[in-house]
Structure 1
Amino acid sequence: MSEGLASILPLEGLQSPSSGPLYLKLRQTLEDAIQSGRLGHGAALPAERDLAEYANVSRVTVRKAVDDLVRDGLLTRRQGSGTFVVKPVSRVQQPLSQLTSFTEDMTRRGLATRSEWLERGLFHPSPEEMMMLGLAAGTMVARIGRLRIANDLPLAIERASLSAELLPDPDAVTTSLYAALQKKSARPVRAIQRISACNVKEPEAGLLAVPVGAAGLSIERISYLASGRVVEFTRSLYRGDAYDFVAELTLGD
């Protein structure tokens, strides 16, 4: 255990006679390991007793250093699982004047994207989906739920509902939903979005690798075809520390 920790957490200077509380020195050592990538995003922090033994400090010292990093958002505690690294993310600015997909947004920024499927298939619609999508009785709905990830960091949870008439085979969506709709000449051309601040709860906090109660952005979007038909009803949850939505305003007459 100590040899593995030594490659991740070099402790030169921790026990030196220089001034400063031990917990601050340990905190800085842990932060350096996170910022340098030696402790990568999602990595589990060693148990407090192992850290205390390795660093030759008390568990109280370890707990105080870890508490500081949890408060600063660099570590997150998951009940029953342990403490995990949350590497700081570069904020993404998303203009509100353009209707683009997550894949298109991230690719344009040079970020490698992937998704983890949370839900994909045809279902009987809920009353809300029937109302939002204008579905007739007996119509099936296609649901696409994904955890959206860029450069190995989870950024958003997206759950989209569409008429099965427009997306009869949800499994055909591999990367971009809009690319799949484009093939059927059903890509939306405009949308109305409602954005509100929220605090991330479980289980979404676990999926986004943020502390429970962290700031998030909740977005509801209704997208339309050129004909005016509703094509998509989407609910998304974005990490508040990763996204800025930007709108350009002009002075009216």
Structure 2
Amino acid sequence: MTQMVASQVPDGSKARRVYLLLRDEILGGLLVPGDSLPGELRLAELHGVSRVTIRRALDGLMADGLIERRAGSGTVVRAPGAQPGQIVADFATLMPQLRRMAEETTARLLSFSYGAPPPHIAEALGLPEGTRVQRAVRLRLSAGLPFSHLTTHVPDAIAQGYSEADLATTPLFRLLERRGVVVDHARQTVSAVLATPEVAEALEVSVGAALISLTRVVYDADGQGVEHLAALYRPDRFRLEMTLNRVGTADARHWAPVIVGGTGDKAGP
């Protein structure tokens, strides 16, 4: 299983574009370890940029450990190195894995407040007008490296059961259980977004870097929303995978996810 390395995205839109194109070719196997890259002048011609821009892109790839400069050989592709603390999750059993992740990693509380929820969150949680929520922003780290930025909204009636200090030291799902919340189901979506300045600083990436976006709304048995989570993950430190089997017969054959060892847990970090 290939492990990705920490992203060192260069500043400047042109350098970032060249960097990402070359990085994708290396990580996607189009360029393999030992392959030589064209010279700076040729790369500049191919991408329609200056040699200074090419050097910035190559510096980023070198910082990532994806290339090296060899005397007499030019710039050569290296094998991607292992990234300490990288998280790999199977999409088919994502919920129990996220729960374990919360117990096996550390979190840093960045902000904590009470107030009116944004309209889209109030609607998702099914909250009546005037309901206050607790908003908490946490940074989760693996092996001391930041990999996710978590923003949670919890209805005030539930959140009053634990303190800011509790949230800084205990996974949220544990606090919800302690409050007596019985989770029944959740709705989850995965997309991609670009890092804003605040998030980029926390996750130690460049502004505008691509992030995995996971939004989850958790409900109790009565269908009442008890948690809204907006999670942003560094794609070089968090990866979603899924194993598929070909099932069915004749024209009804289709791909189905392989679900192994699911625990039924529905609440996560």
TM-score by length of 2: 0.56
- Verify: 1:74 aligned to 2:64, yes or no: yes
**Structure-to-structure mapping, 1:1-253, within 5 angstroms:** 68-72=58-62, 74=64, 88-96=83-91, 97-100=93-96, 102=98, 104-105=100-101, 107=103, 113-168=105-160, 169-171=162-164, 172-173=166-167, 174-249=169-244, 251=247
1:230 is displaced (CA, Å) by 1.5
Contact 1:123 1:142 in 2 (8 A): yes
Code of the residue aligned with 2:229 in structure 1: it is T
Code of the residue aligned with 2:58 in structure 1: it is D
Code of the residue aligned with 1:213 in structure 2: it is G
Judged with a 3 Å threshold, the aligned counterparts in structure 2 of structure 1 residues 163 and 101 are, in CA distance, closer, same or farther, namely: farther
Contact 2:158 2:176 in 1 (8 A): yes
CA shift digits 1:64-95 (9 cap, x unpaired)? 987634245539xxxxxxxxxxx944532223
Judged with a 3 Å threshold, the aligned counterparts in structure 2 of structure 1 residues 182 and 210 are, in CA distance, closer, same or farther, namely: same
RMSD of the alignment, in Å?
Answer: 3.0
Overall identity of the aligned pairs, in %: 25
Contact 1:161 1:232 in 2 (8 A): yes
Counterparts of 2:84 and 2:182 in 1: how far apart (Å)? 31
TM-score by length of 1: 0.60
Greater length-normalized contact order (CA 8 Å, ≥ 6 residues apart) = 2
1:235 is displaced (CA, Å) by 0.8
Contact 2:193 2:210 in 1 (8 A): yes
Structure 2: gaps of 5 or more residues: 1-53, 66-81, 253-269
